[in-house]
Structure 1
Amino acid sequence: MHSLPYWRLSGFYFFYFAFVGAMSPYWGLYLKSLQFNAWQIGVLMSLLQVMRIFAPNIWGWLSDHTGRRAAIVQVAAAGSLICFAGVFWGHSFVWLFVVMASMSFFWSASLPLVEATTLSSLGEHIHRYGRIRLWGSVGFIVTVLGLGYWLNFRPASDLPWVVLALMLGIALLARWIPDVKSTRPALAHVAIWQVVRQPEVMALLAACFLMAVAHGPYYAFYSIYLVEHGYNKSMVGWLWALGVICEIAVFLWLPRWIPNVSMVRVLLATFAIAVLRFLMIAWGVEHLIWIVIAQTLHAATFGAYHLAAVALIHRYFHGRNQARGQGIYNGMTYGAGGTVGGLYAGAIWDGWGANWVFAIAAGCTLLAFVLVLWQRKPMEATAD
């Protein structure tokens, strides 16, 4: 493990999720400052996820067939930076749609490839993944807190400049991402769709899709939801940061238990906790204590969930399917799921009300729990 490129990978995660820390909590507020309505905001925010439906699979296929994973990460990072610069040239809905769609096409390529690189670097020590990934959470916290205070006194028009600087950091760090070959024992190559067609894999991907649907409204509208209920932007920043601080604790603590605990059981627990969390957000927003508790549960609904899901996907997709497997996972979940979540939230936000948006999110995670419970035995057999 002495050859692990720890700081190169950690640095990339830091800037990548610092970008997320600017976009997820605050980009909706920026779009609202441009006088867009809830549906338009939902559409524009969903573009970050739409491109993750198919773009990661394109980039993953290219990576697996060329073996130039690091070079593709560099191209994708540079492309997303160039495309994002277009936000300074116009503010119409159509123009921002084009800018965010093109930027997201490149941006969505990086994470699955870097995830595959990290897991390949770790080899049989996958339980150490959290120690690298936690730096992404640190980047998120630094950005979400800093911008929360900044935007209390400065206009939302400052936000694109901050995002541009973070994307420059991603592009620079991408130049140091190494090319790493899989260290897992050689296995007979299996066509990737034969893996996907397995009932337990389909159930796993469907459950993860539903988890992403549930989080779609959270990432697109949660800050707007809190501000509309009287929370100032610095408090919004602290609430986002609280969730990610708890997430870091999971990244530090859970890996110690990974060799001795079933990832399937962890996944089931996170879905059950997510039901509770989204119901608390839906009906407890008027009470700070309930929102604080709900944010601490982010430790489970993202931190523990992400570790368990990535570990299970890594076990099913190996060898030449590694990068494409991560691409399918990202496309099906954060791509398709995040898109559906953001769009349904934008469509019913004004008519049904925010409470029902988050109540539907709770229903999605309940269904995810049922799907994994249904295929629990074959999943655990593979994980073992």
Structure 2
Amino acid sequence: MQPIPYWRLSSFYLCYFALLGATAPFLALYFDHLGFSPARIGELVAIPMLMRCIAPNLWGWLGDRSGRRLLIVRLGALCTLATFSLIFFAKSYAWLALVMALHAFFWHAVLPQFEVITLAHLHGQTSRYSQVRLWGSIGFILTVVGLGRLFEWLSLDIYPLAMVSIMAGIVIASLWVPNAQPVEHAERRGAEGFLKQLAAPGVLAFYICVALMQLSHGPYYTFLTLHLEHLGYSRGAIGLLWALGVVAEVLMFMLMSRIFARFPVRSVLLVSFLLASLRWLLLGSLADIPAVLILAQLLHAATFGCFHAASIAFVQSSFGARQQGQGQALYAALSGTGGALGALYSGYSWKLLGPQFTFGMASVAALAAAVIIALRSQQTRNSP
């Protein structure tokens, strides 16, 4: 058994999620800086998420078919950098929509394939996955804190330059990672293809819950920064609040191996959905109270940390080696579908109905996911 290239894998996650740290808190803020309305902001933020409905499945099929996952990761990272660089040429709504679509098509090719490579290097030890993935959270933290401070000192006009710098880091990190292929077990070969595994008890219900959970995150990822800025929080403080949530996520990743040793994956998912429902209610109604806002951000440990680690474990245990890429891609695609719908509805309801109602709808979506997973877990107790 070859040693795990821990630092090489971790460096990629650090750079990849540093880009998310530049996008999630600040992309909508940048579009607001350019003068777009909440509805247009919601549409522009939704476009990359919509690309997750298409790109991961296409690239996942290609990765499973060719086995050239690392090549897809490297080309995807390079094309992401090249297409996003088009943002320097114009700032109209149509041009920005094109830039969002093009770079997202390649960006969403990267992570699902890299997840398969990582699990192959870990020899299927999902408990070790969290120890590697936590470096992605660290990259997110460094970025939101650093950019939050930077945007207090300098204009948001430098935002595109910060983005392409991080994208260049992803390209470099991808060149450092060695390749690995998942081991195909005999019981997963032959007639048992992707669709048959997808039809296993509880698997479709899991994917529906993924879409609902990401839909519930729509107002959070699209308007939290603007929401807090309007409540009087500074950009530096907002960056720290985003970082606080991810610190909680990192600590949770460090505990996930112990949690999985004591609790089944479905129970972890159920608790994540219930706490997400509570979190959105707090953010919509009581975010002006600093103590409540801090509590809501600490719940990121459950709404992302537990949820993502449990989802990766579920997909890894539900699909064979030849279907891993498609399983991860479907997870990414339905996450994108839910996230895009969440960004769209929040964009249209934010000004018309207000933050409280918008976050309230998110809470209902997370609660619906909890009900579905609870019912399915009773019917499929022995499933992953």
Q: Could you say which residue in structure 2 is the equivalent of 1:370?
A: 371
Measure how far apart 1:178 and its partner are.
2.5
Task: Tell me the secondary structure at the aligned position of residue 314 of structure 2.
Answer: helix
> Which sits farther off after the overlay, 2-11 or 272-281?
2-11
Task: Tell me the secondary structure at the aligned position of residue 289 of structure 1.
Answer: helix
Whether the aligned pair in 1 keeps the contact of 2:33 and 2:156 (CA below 8 Å) is yes
Whether the aligned pair in 1 keeps the contact of 2:202 and 2:383 (CA below 8 Å) is no
Q: How many angstroms apart in 2 are the aligned matches of 1:109 and 1:73?
A: 7
Q: Could you say which residue in structure 1 is the equivalent of 2:99?
A: 99
Q: How many angstroms apart in 1 are the aligned matches of 2:322 and 2:82?
A: 31
Task: Tell me the secondary structure at the aligned position of residue 382 of structure 2.
Answer: helix
Amino acid at match of 2:158: D
Give the unaligned 5+ runs of structure 1: none
Measure how far apart 1:374 and its partner are.
1.1
Q: How many angstroms apart in 2 are the aligned matches of 1:184 and 1:262?
A: 24
Whether the aligned pair in 1 keeps the contact of 2:6 and 2:132 (CA below 8 Å) is yes
**Structure 2 vs 1, CA of residues 380 and 181 (structure 1 numbering), >3 Å: closer, same or farther?**
farther
RMSD value, Cα: 1.2
Equivalent positions of 1:115-130 (< 5 A) are 115-130=115-130
Q: How many angstroms apart in 2 are the aligned matches of 1:283 and 1:257?
A: 31
Measure how far apart 1:153 and its partner are.
1.6
Q: Could you say which residue in structure 1 is the equivalent of 2:85?
A: 85
Render the CA deviation track for 1:257-305: whole Å, top value 9, x for unaligned: 3233211111111111111111100110121111100000000000011
Render the CA deviation track for 1:297-355: whole Å, top value 9, x for unaligned: 0000000111111101111122210111100011012x101100000000111100011
Equivalent positions of 1:140-151 (< 5 A) are 140-151=140-151
> Which sits farther off after the overlay, 183-192 or 5-14?
183-192
Would you say how many aligned residue pairs link Structure 1 and Structure 2?
A: 382
Measure how far apart 1:359 and its partner are.
0.6
Measure how far apart 1:379 and its partner are.
4.5
Q: Could you say which residue in structure 2 is the equivalent of 1:193?
A: 195
Task: Tell me the secondary structure at the aligned position of residue 181 of structure 2.
Answer: coil
Q: Could you say which residue in structure 2 is the equivalent of 1:165?
A: 165
Q: Could you say which residue in structure 2 is the equivalent of 1:110?
A: 110
> Which sits farther off after the overlay, 122-131 or 15-24?
122-131
Q: How many angstroms apart in 1 are the aligned matches of 2:354 and 2:124?
A: 47
Measure how far apart 1:177 and its partner are.
2.7
Render the CA deviation track for 1:35-55: whole Å, top value 9, x for unaligned: 000111111111221111110
> Which sits farther off after the overlay, 243-252 or 173-182?
173-182
Amino acid at match of 1:247: E
Measure how far apart 1:224 and its partner are.
0.6
Q: Could you say which residue in structure 2 is the equivalent of 1:255?
A: 257
Pairing partner for 1:273 from 275, 280, 284: 275
Q: How many angstroms apart in 2 are the aligned matches of 1:305 and 1:169?
A: 27
Whether the aligned pair in 2 keeps the contact of 1:18 and 1:143 (CA below 8 Å) is yes
Q: How many angstroms apart in 1 are the aligned matches of 2:380 and 2:211?
A: 17
Q: How many angstroms apart in 1 are the aligned matches of 2:225 and 2:58?
A: 32
Amino acid at match of 1:369: A
Q: How many angstroms apart in 2 are the aligned matches of 1:143 and 1:63?
A: 30
Q: Could you say which residue in structure 1 is the equivalent of 2:174?
A: 174
Render the CA deviation track for 1:2-54: whole Å, top value 9, x for unaligned: 52121111111001100000111011111111100011111111122111111
Task: Tell me the secondary structure at the aligned position of residue 202 of structure 2.
Answer: helix
Q: Could you say which residue in structure 1 is the equivalent of 2:355?
A: 354
Amino acid at match of 1:315: S
Whether the aligned pair in 1 keeps the contact of 2:183 and 2:321 (CA below 8 Å) is no
Pairing partner for 1:237 from 236, 239, 243: 239
**Structure 2 vs 1, CA of residues 308 and 342 (structure 1 numbering), >3 Å: closer, same or farther?**
same
Whether the aligned pair in 2 keeps the contact of 1:264 and 1:379 (CA below 8 Å) is no
Whether the aligned pair in 2 keeps the contact of 1:262 and 1:380 (CA below 8 Å) is no
Q: Could you say which residue in structure 1 is the equivalent of 2:74?
A: 74
**Structure 2 vs 1, CA of residues 29 and 67 (structure 1 numbering), >3 Å: closer, same or farther?**
same
Q: How many angstroms apart in 2 are the aligned matches of 1:44 and 1:342?
A: 9
Whether the aligned pair in 2 keeps the contact of 1:270 and 1:300 (CA below 8 Å) is yes
Amino acid at match of 1:113: Q
Give the unaligned 5+ runs of structure 2: none
Measure how far apart 1:253 and its partner are.
1.2
Measure how far apart 1:199 and its partner are.
4.7
Q: Could you say which residue in structure 1 is the equivalent of 2:382?
A: 381
